[in-house]
Amino acid sequence: MKRVVITGMGVVCPLGSNVEEYIKGLENNKSGIQKMEKWKEYIGLNTLVAAPAKIENEKSIPRKKRRSMGRMGIFAAQATEEAVKDSGLSESVITSARTGCIIGSTMGGAEAMNDTFEIMLPEKDLSKLSSMNFFKCVSHTAAMNVSQCFGIKGYVMATSAACASALQAVGAAYGLIQSGKQDVVLCGGAEELHAIVAGSFDILFATSTHFNDNPECTPRPFDKDRDGLVCGEGSGILVLEDYEHAQKRNAKVYAEVSGYHTCGSGEHVSQSNKEAMVSCMKETLKSADMQPDNIDYINAHATATIHGDKQEAEALKEIFGDKIPVSSLKGYIGHTLGASGSIELIAALKMMQKSKIYPTKNLNDVAEDCKGINHVMKIQEKEINSILKNCFAFGGINASLICKKIL
Amino acid sequence: MDKKKIEEMVNQVFEESFEIDKGDLSPEKGIFEDLGLDSLDIVDLVVALQKKFGVKIRDDNRVREIRTLGDIYNFIESLYNEGNFSADK
């Protein structure tokens, strides 16, 4: 099996449109959460907070490449551009058949779906539909648009597992390179914010609704006052590369991907399941040939839902006890859903690089049901040689990934 | 509506929908080779013209004969002369 390393990273998220701005935002304890005045028009939508990302400089993407992109396509293309530049890979490598692209999202572009229904449904008239709506609505809109934009000729795939989509994309890319089928894979997730998406959580009482007038105070992962998740948007793209390929070109290496697992709970469509989480993390440790003590930092999924955080805290406690530092980044950037795995993994890799752990924002008072693990509540200096990233999704789907520094 | 107004409104469609500079829009320009549209753009051109002029042209065979920007001006003018559209403003 080939070794797989991370050689490039790019981000668009509620804290900024590149990795530097994003990390600076974390460093400064900045909140990307805002009040969504426009959402007041939706009857029955109780959450009025969200974490939007900014579309900036989109016209730098040529019109014919951009016309089929919704917000998430633009986010993904811009994050990819940064990641590719960061990797230093040449255009000839990116456009060779040995380079692939796997980008996941919860669903296709919600804005385009909304527009399609608004155009089509009142009079059941298709003649007013743009040819581009379909390309923005499809489930693989991010992967498809990025692959067109960058001339990808290797594997092109889209993972679709709600909030585990991005981590599954990274996991799938890892597998393709391990097996020798690809040398390089651009991978991660993308998501766009829309009331359709937030509403789907809202009607399940999974969103934060008590902080509509104090958006910076929510979400509150693991906190006693947590009241649900806050939807966000953006894209996080990583360049995964065969280690030997990276060595040959003397590439900068952030970390090695050393373990991955994904599994279902087979239990419930929306409720997280501690046993399945434990199983996922244990299998990931096994695949990396590591023990719990070998992990230096855990980047939790923790979205600030009542049930999910409790299950994750219990699962972490069972495996890691109270030894390994744990933090969640949702308090800064909200839950970027299908993009969260890669956006948050990028921050965890930067923490590894900087030997510094960013704490769980808005965690002021650890909830009784989340105690027993090593919560990071203020910036902590620590040498980090290995990280574990978790993502747990609707459908009982879990994914965990381990990266370690190449020493 | 005079021809000049039609030309202005068609040009607006090209500026708004296809991001083509006003200075590049002249009647002899081929919509594919000179203005860079492709088959997908034609679908959107039809949608945009329908919206702009309040007409239904998707199934009009004359659309298939269009090659230049001037052809579009003439086509829209014919529709107007036939009295079957209600242009917006």
| Subunit contact A130:B18, Cβ cutoff 8 A | no
> For residue A352, is it within any domain?
yes
The answer to whether residue A132 neighbours chain B at the CB level (below 8 Å) is yes
> Average pLDDT in the B29-42 region?
96
User: Domains of chain B, with CATH numbers?
Assistant: 3-81 (1.10.1200.10)
What local confidence, expressed as pLDDT, does residue A252 receive? 97
CB-CB under 8 Å, B19 with A131: no
Going by DSSP bridges, is the β-strand pair A184-191/A99-104 parallel, antiparallel, or unpaired? parallel
How many folded domains does chain A comprise? 1
CA distance B68 to chain A (A): 20
In A, minimum Cα distance to B36 occurs at A64
Catalytic residue positions of A? 163, 301, 335
CA–CA separation, A303 vs A294, rounded Å? Answer: 25
CATH of the domain at A343: 3.40.47.10
| A residues 36-65 closer than 8 Å to B (CB) | 59, 63-64
Look at residue A400 and tell me if it is in a domain. no
Kindly state whether B58 is in contact with chain A, defined as any CB-CB distance less than 8 angstroms.
yes
The count of residues in chain A is 407
B 4-43 near A (Cβ less than 8 A): 18-19, 36, 38, 40-41, 43
Asked if residue A42 is part of any domain, the answer here is yes
d(CA A348, CA A297): 8
**Residue owning tokens 């230093």:** A88
Residues of A in contact with B47 (CB under 8 A): 127-131
Tell me which chain A residues have a C-beta less than 8 angstroms from the C-beta of B58: 127
Chosen for mutation from A63, A65, A115, A131 (greatest number of chain B CBs closer than 10 Å) is A131
Tell which of B38, B44, B56, B63 to mutate to test the A interface (max A CBs under 10 Å).
B44
- What does the pLDDT read at residue B86? 61
- How far, in Å, CA of A228 to CA of A305, rounded? 4
Given CB atoms, is A181 within the 8 Å cutoff of chain B? no
- In chain A, which residues have their Cβ closer than 8 Å to the Cβ of B43? 130-131
Residue A290 tokens read as 């590591």
Neighbours of A128 (CB within 10 A): 14
Reported as a single tens digit per residue, the pLDDT across A283-333 is 999 999 999 999 999 999 999 999 999 999 999 999 999 999 999 999 999
| Cα separations in angstroms, A308 against A117, A195, A396, B2 | 33, 22, 11, 65
* Residues of the domain holding A102: 1-389
A403 located within any domain: no
**How many CB pairs below 8 Å do chains A and B form together?**
25
Residue A399 lies in a domain: no
**C-alpha span between B6 and B11 (Å, rounded):** 8
| Residues 6 or more apart whose Cβ sits within 8 Å of residue A361 | A29, A31, A329, A331, A332
Cβ pair A262, A168 in contact under 8 A: yes
pLDDT tens, N- to C-terminus, chain A (407 residues): 999 999 999 999 999 999 999 999 999 999 999 999 999 999 999 999 999 999 999 999 999 999 999 999 999 999 999 999 999 999 999 999 999 999 999 999 999 999 999 999 988 888 889 999 999 999 999 999 999 999 999 999 999 999 999 999 999 999 999 999 999 999 999 999 999 999 999 999 999 999 999 999 999 999 999 999 999 999 999 999 999 999 999 999 999 999 999 999 888 888 888 999 999 999 999 999 999 999 999 999 999 999 999 999 999 999 999 999 999 999 999 999 999 999 999 999 999 999 999 999 999 999 999 999 999 999 999 999 999 999 999 888 999 999 999 98
Mind telling me how many Å the CA of A201 is from chain B's nearest CA?
A: 34
Chain B partners of A59 at a C-beta cutoff of 8 Å?
19
| 3-class secondary structure per residue, chain A | CCCEEEEEEEEEECCECCHHHHHHHHHCCCCCCEECHHHHHCCCCCCCEEECCCCCCHHHCCHHHHCCCCHHHHHHHHHHHHHHHHHCCCHHHHCCCCEEEEEECCCCCHHHHHHHHHHHCCCCCHHHCCCCHHHHHCCCHHHHHHHHHHCCCCCEECCCCHHHHHHHHHHHHHHHHHCCCCCEEEEEEEECCCHHHHHHHHCCCCECCCCCCCHHHCCCCCECCCCCECEECEEEEEEEEEHHHHHHCCCCCCEEEEEEEEEECCCCCCCCCHHHHHHHHHHHHHHCCCCHHHCCEEECCCCCCHHHHHHHHHHHHHHHCCCCEEECCHHHHCECHHHHHHHHHHHHHHHHHHCEECCCCCCCCECHHHCCCEECCCCEECCCCEEEEEEEECCCEEEEEEEECCC
In chain B, whose CA is at the least distance from the CA of A133?
Answer: B44
Per residue in B49-84, pLDDT (tens digit) is 999 999 989 889 999 999 999 999 999 999 999 886
